[in-house]
Every structure is written in structure tokens, then in C-alpha cells.
Chain A
């Protein structure tokens, strides 16, 4: 073991999907007892690279060395046998099983289920690292951070000495993040090699010993954390110096557009997803919504858009109640409201259709007669492609072949084109690189200045704090506070996200 200096060493790894080169001759290494941050924008190839270590993908070319020996990882199983464990951003847990069963899954240990000796095995790990978890709880009853704990336990139980975490803090509150970092430091002390994928600079600086920066699928830098700073890391990541602040024009009006009164929404499983909330959205403002995933954001958006039934309460648009109306009726009432859903290709767009047919989606009805008319959307497509710099080979090939940023632009472009008064948007920059993200922010600000009221469901607190005028925090379907984004702090919002109520609502 001593002879191998590197726990992991990747040499000239290349991987492409179709015509897209996701990783191009990437080199990377990580030592034992070291936390390496893998930094890069969305789409820079971080997850792809790490998935080649976890056995999900296979490199087109290049070699992987584990403790100095060249290996071929052909499945997640190989990966485990090599002592590598990856905690994926989208957890890979079986919902209907308990935490214990999930941890045991696929392992060969002989102990029967539920026997004391086995539980001790898992509980040992818990006490050693300070996890608090009910092993008999079913995963679908767990909060996001509990699920993450199960994932980490799963990896540790398999004896992993090399840990890879993909954006582990994206779903956590600042306080939970601190706790996670504490655990990572413990692991580091025990001699684990840890790679943490992230695009958040402050976290890189806080937790890592070394940083490898990826840009557009290539490794562009490898620096010791203590010798660098946020500004130089950003320019490494983006490839040019970047102004890191988002514009925030003054609110364009204060007339109230949308008023929500005592809204309660029951989700598909019969639980209260939204629990008696009231707020209002003004014309010309961006109202941010913060909260850990699953706090009711999805149901709130869908209720406003008429896609989800409402149990109790009212949603007034210009003083007219729209609760109980179908999306179709809402459109027909002349209310121009646009909802940009979280699941772009599963909800907002038709993946297998081209741009033109997708632009038809909301306008095809306005034409009289039996037939559809593709001319207006074709012209609109041309206009949007030009205005928003959409990169598309032609207008008829499936939008699923476009990159995430372009897909988002098509969707946002279509919604804005319908000249809405209210725009509801959920995670509009998820998966986008910095350039595309700023295009989206600019588009939203442009709408704001036209007097559109925007409800912005976000996940990155830094963005929320810089872009929005007010931020409403959801916890477990309730509003724990509405704060002024100009004066609020991240910690303050973080606390609200964990459910501690603000004394006097803003």
C-alpha cells in the first residue's frame, strides 16, 4: 500500500456520447487522506468522469489506476470491489425498502437480515462517524438529508476507501452542509481519499485540499486550495474573468398581481404538500422561493398553473379566483400565465418533436379549423434562435438532442413570447453553464422590467439572494418566512429552511 502514492489516477480519459465529447483526455489523481474538489461548470464533464470510476460509464480511451495498478471497471460491482463508492446526485435508493435493506442490497455478507450482529456492523459505522438514523425507516418516508446519510452508509458498509460525492450539498441547508463536511473530515482522517464534485466556490475553499478544474470536458488546472482564491478559480472554470454578480433592477411596480390565500394542497400520496400558506406576488418583482427539495415547491407551482387540485384556499389573479379551473380554462380566460416546469423534457416540451412542433404546443388551439398551421411557429423559431442564440441544427430534429441550455431557452422563449403577466419558473438554470444561466437571468430581469410578476423557485441560495427582490422560504409545505433579499443572509435563510420560524413575517 505504501508503494502507491495515489489512491486514484486517471490518465488521458476520453468519453463521448454520440457526437458530443464529454471528457477529452482528462488527467486526475487523488491521494489517500486527501479531499479533492472537482470543480467545473454544469456540463463540463465532472459527473461523466466520476461515473467512469463508479462503473456506470466506460471510457472510450485512457486508463484508470487504483493504488498504482491499472484496472478495468466494467460495472458498479467492479467499482465496489476496488473500494470505490460513489454517492450520486440523484440518489440510487429503493424507495419501498428500509434503510437497512438498502444498505445490505447486493452485498455478500452472510449474516441473515435483521440479526443483531449485522445491525451492529452498520451501527458501528454510525457511532464512529456520528450518523443518526433509524435503520428501519422506509426510504420514501425520509428527508433528503436522511437519504443522503443512507447513501453514505451504503458506501462505508461496503468498505469503500475512495469516496466520490456528486454535488452533495445541492439539496442540503447550510447547517446540514456543515454536518456533512464534519463527516468528510473524519473520513479523511481515517485515510480515505475523497473526491467531491461541486460548482460552489465557497465550498471548494472550505473543505478541499486540492482542486482539479474541468472546463468543457478538459482538465485545465490542478491547484492546491490554500494557494488559490475564488476569483482565480472562477476564471479557470469559465475560461475568462467573470463578473460574479447578477443584476437586480428595481421592482417595476407594486400593484399586486397574484394573491394566494390559505392555500392547502394535498399531494398524490394524500399528504399535505402545501399547508395553509398565504402570500402575494407583485407586478414587476421577482419573488424567490427557497426550501429543501420536496418542501412543496412542485405542488405550489402546479396548483398555480391549474395542474394540481387545491384542497382549500384561493388563488386570486387580478382579484379573480382561478382555483378549480383547468389550465385550458385559465388560458381561455385571457390570463397569460406561464409556468416553466422543473422537468423540462417531461412536462414543458415534447422530447421527440422538433422546435417548431414544440412552439405549437400552446398556440395551436388559437387557429380555427381542423388543421394545424406550422408557418407562424416556424417563423417564431427563426426569431427565437436568433434572439437567444439557440444552437440547433434544424427546427425539426427532436429537441431532446439539444443541450440543456438550448432546451431551456426554447422553453423560456416560448413562454415569454406569449406575453405573460405572471411567470412561474422552477429551477430554470438547473444543469446550465454560467453563460447560459446569465442569459436566463437577463431574460427574467427583462420580463420583470416589463412589469411581469415572477415566481422563481430556486435551489442555489447565492443566486436567490442576488436575483430576487423578496425570498419566501418553504418548509414542509408551510411558509417559515418571507425576507427582503437585499438584507437577508444565507444563514438566516438556511435556518428558515430547517423549519425555525421567523418571529415577524415580512
Chain B
């Protein structure tokens, strides 16, 4: 492998590894813009992963797989929204509960799936894995360098990037986005201005959850190669929550951020053993250690303070005095 190919291949792999983070972070940004910190990203990803997987497993339909993974994540978010928006439950604890529940739910259903599957391995059919494989556009995909770097990913990648751009436009350029930002910045003011605060919160929390669910589907279908694996999300949801801070609540910056963090995940395959011999455990640790460092550095630089929606974590009850 030439130096050149090596770098291209590394970037390619980083992008692929970053996709679940892209979805998870986008979903969480939308949620947080509504003033709610949902620590259940991990759980919603699990729910999206298992729901999508089961749908794809039984129907062989890529479309139903996507739909059900969205609905799975959204269902988890709906529980969260009901508890925190309507019943004013503590957001931190509710999010944690969602994570515990989601992981348990996915492993429970997944275990049942495995037990019934032939050879004790639940595997998606070929037409689904092929559907989510890399695309091929004549001419474009064949271009040197650019072809591989831009035109050979699977559809999730393009969909995720598109979603991020649309999300950015929605937040910054539309009236609804303005209203949403107001809800997160100063819920009481938004309410007094006649914005349907509760509706806004529900819609965006649930949509955000659905997007996280799509990230889960990606993990199950692409990263795990279409074979159900228990504990498949393994902390990616938490990194996504942290990435929100890193991206400064901007969907655009999320694109870059998720791919950078994706690269940490694939680093181990691209550092030759004969150059530096680092135990595999340390490689597995890298994304978490770097995330920790990023959390600390952003807090030292105070860069997050201004970008964070002011009303995050505070439940809104109109009659509160």
C-alpha cells in the first residue's frame, strides 16, 4: 500500500466510523436546543439498533429497517419527553434510566433473536447489507482520490451529512428554528411570546431521538456487519453527548467533529505494529480519553459557556413563581 492510498484509506475508514457519532450528536443537538439534556443517547441508539435490526431481519426491507430504527429511538425519546416535559422529572436521571433501559432492552431482544437463530447468529440478509454497502456512481466513483474520498461511501454517510446541513439551515435560517432556539435559551420568554413550548419540546426531543436511533441502526448494520452483537453501541452514545459540546451546538461543525472522532476509533488499524507497539486496550481507550480531554479543554477555554442553550436541564412549569 502506497503512502497515498494509506492516507486515503484512513480517511475513508474514519468517515465510516464517525457516522454513528454524526447521527447521535445531531439528534442530541436538536434535543438540547429545546432546552433538554437527554443523557439517553446511548439507550436510544440501542433501541434504534435493535428495532431496525428486527425489522430488517424479518422483512428484508432496508426501508422498514430505517423506519423502525427511527421509531425505536423516537419511542425512547418519547418516554423521556413525557417524563421530563410533562411530568417535570429530573433530566439527568431520566436520561440515565433511558440508557439503562435501552441497553437492557436491546440485549434482551437481541439475546432472544440469537437463541432462535440458526447457528446462534442472527444475520441480516445479503440484499440489506448490500443496500447499505458503498455506492457506485459510474465515472464519479472511479475518479482517482476524489472518487474514493467522496463517492464511494454508503448511503448513511450522505444522508447524515445532508441531515446536518439541513439541521443547520433549520436552526439558523428558519422561523421555526428561531422559535426553537428561543425555547432553549429562555423558555419563559418563548412561552410569553406565544410559542407552543410543550409542542416544540416534544417534537424536537422525539425527532432527535429518532435521529439517534438511525445512528444505532448504522452500528448494527454497517459496523457490526449485519450480525446482531450484544452491547454493540459500547459508549458511542456517550461520546456523541460529549461531541455536542465539542461542536459548539453547531450541526455543521458536527460533521467534522464526528469524522475526527471516527478516526480515533480506527486508529488501531492504521498504526503499524512494528512502528509503535501499543496494546489493543489502549487503542480502545483512546476515543474515551480524547473525549475526556476535549471536555476538560473546552471547559477551560470557556468556549462552551456561550454556545450552550441557557435553559438546558431546567424543566419549565409555567406557573412556577
Contacts and interface: CB of A to CB of B under 8 A. Distances in A.
Answer yes or no: A and B touching, Cβ < 8 Å: yes
Contacts of A54: 192
A178 interface: no
B310 A95 contact: yes
Contact of A94 (B182, B196, B318): B182
B196 to A, nearest CB: 7
B192 A92 contact: yes
Interface in B280-321: 310, 318-319, 321
Interface string A16-28: 0100000000000
Contacts of A77: 194-196
B188 interface: yes
A440 B185 CA distance: 37
A382 interface: no
B191 A76 contact: yes
A105 B318 contact: no
Contact of A97 (B185, B188, B196, B321): B185
A339 interface: no
A77 to B, nearest CB: 4
Given A94-B186, A96-B185, A76 B175 contact: no
Interface string A81-99: 0000010100111111100
Nearest to A151: B192
B162 to A, nearest CB: 23
Contacts of B179: 105-106
Contacts of A104: 175, 178
B190 interface: yes
Contacts of A88: 192
B93 interface: no
> Majority SS of interface residues in chain B?
helix
B193 interface: yes
B145 interface: no
A86 to B, nearest CB: 8
A92 B178 contact: no
B194 A92 contact: no
B189 interface: yes
A92 B196 contact: no
Contacts of B188: 92
A57 B319 contact: yes
Given A17-B321, A57-B319, A106-B179, A76 B192 contact: yes
A459 interface: no
A94 B194 contact: no
A95 B186 contact: yes
Given A56-B318, A56-B319, A113-B175, A105 B195 contact: yes
Contacts of A93: 186, 189
Contacts of B190: 94, 105-106
Most chain B beta-carbon contacts within 10 A, residue among A91, A93, A154: A93
Interface residues of A, number: 28
Interface string B184-215: 01101111111110000000000000000000
B319 A105 contact: no
Nearest to B198: A75
A94 B189 contact: yes
A57 B191 CA distance: 12
B193 A106 contact: yes
Nearest to A158: B194
Contacts of A97: 178, 181-182, 185
Contacts, number: 72
> Majority SS of interface residues in chain A?
loop
Most chain B beta-carbon contacts within 10 A, residue among A86, A91, A96, A106: A106
Interface in B194-242: 194-196
A101 interface: yes
Contacts of A79: 194
Contacts of A75: 191, 194, 196, 318
Contacts of B178: 97, 101, 104-105, 113
Contacts of A154: 193
B185 A106 contact: no
Interface in A80-134: 80, 86, 88, 91-97, 101-102, 104-107, 113
A56 B182 contact: no
B194 A80 contact: yes
Contacts of A76: 191-194
B32 to A, nearest CB: 15
Contacts of B175: 104, 113
B194 A107 contact: yes
A70 to B, nearest CB: 21
Nearest to A81: B194
Contacts of A107: 193-194
A282 B198 CA distance: 54
Contacts of B185: 94-97
A102 B181 CA distance: 11
Contacts of A105: 178-179, 182, 189-190, 193, 195
Contacts of A94: 181-182, 185-186, 189-190
Nearest to B197: A75
B310 to A, nearest CB: 7
Interface in B144-201: 175, 178-179, 181-182, 185-186, 188-196
Given A56-B319, A57-B319, A106 B194 contact: yes
A299 B182 CA distance: 28
Contacts of B318: 56-57, 75
B193 A92 contact: yes
A471 B194 CA distance: 42
Nearest to A154: B193
Nearest to B195: A106
A92 B321 contact: no
Contacts of A106: 179, 182, 190, 193-195
Contacts of A158: 194
Given A105-B179, A106-B193, A92 B319 contact: no
A256 to B, nearest CB: 40
Contacts of A91: 189
Interface in A371-385: none
In the complex, the 9 A-B pairs of residues with the closest C-beta atoms, listed nearest first: A106-B193, A92-B189, A92-B192, A106-B194, A77-B194, A106-B195, A105-B193, A94-B186, A94-B185
Given A56-B319, A76-B194, A93-B189, 5 more contacts: A75-B318, A80-B194, A91-B189, A92-B189, A95-B310
28 contacts: A17-B321, A57-B318, A58-B319, A75-B191, A75-B194, A76-B193, A77-B194, A77-B195, A80-B194, A86-B192, A91-B189, A92-B186, A92-B191, A92-B192, A92-B193, A93-B186, A94-B181, A94-B185, A94-B186, A94-B189, A94-B190, A95-B310, A97-B181, A102-B193, A105-B193, A106-B182, A113-B175, A113-B178
